[in-house]
């Protein structure tokens, strides 16, 4: 039995939304392409529901990926926990790096302000 999480549903939905927007399509146009209601596309994109098996081939074609990849996006994989952990670590590293860059900028401004102030006194 596959237990899907909100993140599993969101993964495929985000890919669908990103590709739809890149194609310059509205949700209504995509719904027409897939033969579903616009509300179905909205629910897929927002991770509320996921497309049924009968729509996977059409979605794979739309995304330009094999059907098996769409299934992995939808259902998750055994590596999801490890991937999530690594993504979380990467997010923390990026946040720390942004903080270091900010602090270096502050330090640079202080140094420049001190050296400019010292030059005026001389």
pLDDT tens-place values along the chain, 122 residues long: 344 455 656 778 888 888 889 889 999 999 999 999 999 999 988 888 878 888 888 888 888 888 888 877 776 654 555 567 767 788 888 999 999 999 999 999 999 987 766 554 44
The CATH number corresponding to 6-75 among 1.20.1300.10, 3.40.50.970, 1.20.1290.10, 1.10.260.40 equals: 1.10.260.40
Taking the model in full, what pTM does it have?
Answer: 0.54
Write b or e for each residue in 44-80: b if 16 or more Cβ atoms lie within 10 A of its Cβ, otherwise e. Answer: bbebeebbeeebbebbbebbeeeeeebbbbbbbeeee
Residue-level pLDDT at 14: 86
Burial degree of 33 (CB within 10 A; 0-12, 13-18, 19+): middle
Among all chains, which residue has been given the structure tokens 């909205």?
A: 42
């Amino acid at each position: 039995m596959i237990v899907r999480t909100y993140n599993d549903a969101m993964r495929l939905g985000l890919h669908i939304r990103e590709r739809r927007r890149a194609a310059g399509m509205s949700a209504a146009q995509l719904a027409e392409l897939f033969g579903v209601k616009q509300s179905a596309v909205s629910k897929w994109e927002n991770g509320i529901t996921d497309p049924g098996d009968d729509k996977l081939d059409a979605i794979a074609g739309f995304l330009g990926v094999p059907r098996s990849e769409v299934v992995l996006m939808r259902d998750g994989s055994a590596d999801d926990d490890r991937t999530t952990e690594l993504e979380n670590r990467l997010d923390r590293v990026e946040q720390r790096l942004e903080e270091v860059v900010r602090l270096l900028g502050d330090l640079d401004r202080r140094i420049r302000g001190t050296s400019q102030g010292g030059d005026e006194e001389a």
